[in-house]
Amino acid sequence: MARPSTSRSPRHRTPRTSEAIATALLEAAAVEFAAHGYDGASTRRIAERAGAHQPQINYHFTSKEHLWRETVNRLFGLMAIDTPADDRGGPGDGDDLSVAFAATLRRFIHFSADHPELNRIINLEATTPSPRLDWLVATHLRPLYELVDGVWTALRASGRGADLTTAEVWELTTSYGALHFANEPMLAALGISTRPGRAGADEHADRLLAIVFP
Amino acid sequence: MARPSTSRSPRHRTPRTSEAIATALLEAAAVEFAAHGYDGASTRRIAERAGAHQPQINYHFTSKEHLWRETVNRLFGLMAIDTPADDRGGPGDGDDLSVAFAATLRRFIHFSADHPELNRIINLEATTPSPRLDWLVATHLRPLYELVDGVWTALRASGRGADLTTAEVWELTTSYGALHFANEPMLAALGISTRPGRAGADEHADRLLAIVFP
DNA sequence: GTCTATACCGAGATAGAC
DNA sequence: GTCTATCTCGGTATAGAC
């Protein structure tokens, strides 16, 4: 009732640095984009979730499109930290490669359990040709795929792994492996969700690895 | 220049029956909902794609929400035609069951290749709890899952099939099996899309069946 | 850099002539 | 039943005070 002028909608008594609010916006954007898709997500809701004002999105990221890209960049950055590139390739005999590749797959599954938003966002873009999809493939997916292809091809050449192409391993990992966590609400409603936390993620990684490395 | 009054934006010189336009709207809605999600799809675009006026959606389906449900109902109806329930279960020994189950999986994959919109729409709802998701599970997914569960359990009891739970078979089929076609634009951009048409669908069914029935 | 106010557009839904 | 006009709301983006 009192204080008619100084009341603001978002609550950030702590004025926060420019970087802090940018990060908060990116985190909120990941959740909203993952839940509602690019078109369905609204910058109002993203700002609200971040405890910021909607115009601050345009100030920090100039446009919704740029915000989306930076959100994806940030998530891929987090993934790179969790599943470092050293483990994806490197020299060594077939057994070394197999062990390293399996370990990386497991780490990727764990990352997907911790950050289901990334696979979610990728899958949302995957079905419709768009500039966003082109950018996503060129910037992030293709380099990653070629890395995987190199390792898997070498690995298969030395007789390890299941009789699957790189494309099959890729699809199994991203669709069956990672989407499991993004689809948790539906699986829970069906009564087939995994245990939450590390244990559940590990079990799902076991299931994937049983197919890729029988 | 001439005819100032009789020009209409949507082109349907043929006035079409009520049922024809309802079907056209449902087909258009499937494409738009699949491409942009529920929130992202617009009734204006759906009507435009169907060659109708936007208010006709409210006339025929009362609301966007109802239109969405009828769109899903129609797609599940088409699926039931393509993969009839007789083939999903029925009495018989283990070999009969295996053959019938494999045939049904194959038909489902073919249906998913012909109508990627259904798996797409399901996947869009799968990640966020909502009344739509609850309705989807209760109305369509749970009955289907329990059918699959009954058959797969019987089949496994007789020693057939890979050492997988029903949940694993379900996820492999819907994620790895069906999403392959929904994600075709991304896979094509990565250079790993399958051949179009029946042949490509059959090849992908082979890949899935090689995992489920080694 | 932050925040209020607002411009401008497109969304879903409704009214009423036809 | 169809179609035009329109209501109201929420979307992104911008202007300008502070």
Q: Residue B56 in contact with residue B47, Cβ under 8 Å? A: yes
Query: What confidence score (pLDDT) does residue B167 get?
Result: 98
Strand intervals (E) in chain A: none
Query: Which residues are within 7 Å of strand C by their Cβ atom?
Result: A 7-10, 12, 15-18, 21, 52-56, 59-60; B 41-45, 54-55, 57-58, 62-65
Mutate to test the interface with A, among B118, B123, B212 (most CBs of A within 10 A): B123
Q: Which amino acid is at B151?
A: V
Which is more confident, A153 or A90? A153
Neighbouring residues of B214: CB distance < 8 A, sequence distance ≥ 6: B162
Q: Residue A92 in contact with residue B5, Cβ under 8 Å? A: no
Q: Quick one: angle between helices B54-61 and B18-40, nearest 10?
A: 100
Neighbours of B105 (CB within 10 A): 23
CB contact under 8 A, A183 and B126: yes
Instruction: Please tell me the number of Cα atoms within 13 Å of A148 on its side-chain side.
Output: 23
Mean pLDDT of A36-65: 95
Say which residue the tokens 């966020």 belong to: B128
Percent of chain A with pLDDT over 90: 81
Token pair belonging to A27: 């985190």
CB contact under 8 A, A170 and B192: yes
The pLDDT tens digits of the residues spanning B109-125 come to 999 999 999 999 999 99
Length of chain B equals 214
The pLDDT tens digits of the residues spanning A56-95 come to 999 999 999 999 999 999 999 999 998 886 655 556 676 7
Query: What confidence score (pLDDT) does residue B93 get?
Result: 73
The pLDDT tens digits of the residues spanning A99-115 come to 999 999 999 999 999 99
Distance between CA atoms of residues A186 and A84, nearest Å? 31
Give the residue from B183, B168, B25 showing the smallest Cα distance to B112: B183
Which is more confident, B208 or B10? B208
Q: Choose the weakest-confidence range: A91-95, A96-100, A166-170, B44-48.
A: A91-95
Residue/partner pairs of A77-80 with CB below 8 Å, 24 or more apart: A78/A111, A78/A115, A78/A118, A79/A108, A79/A111, A79/A115, A79/A118
What does the buried/exposed string (b/e) look like for A60-87 if buried means 16 or more CB atoms within 10 Å of the residue's CB?
bbeebeebbebbbebbbebbeeebeeeb
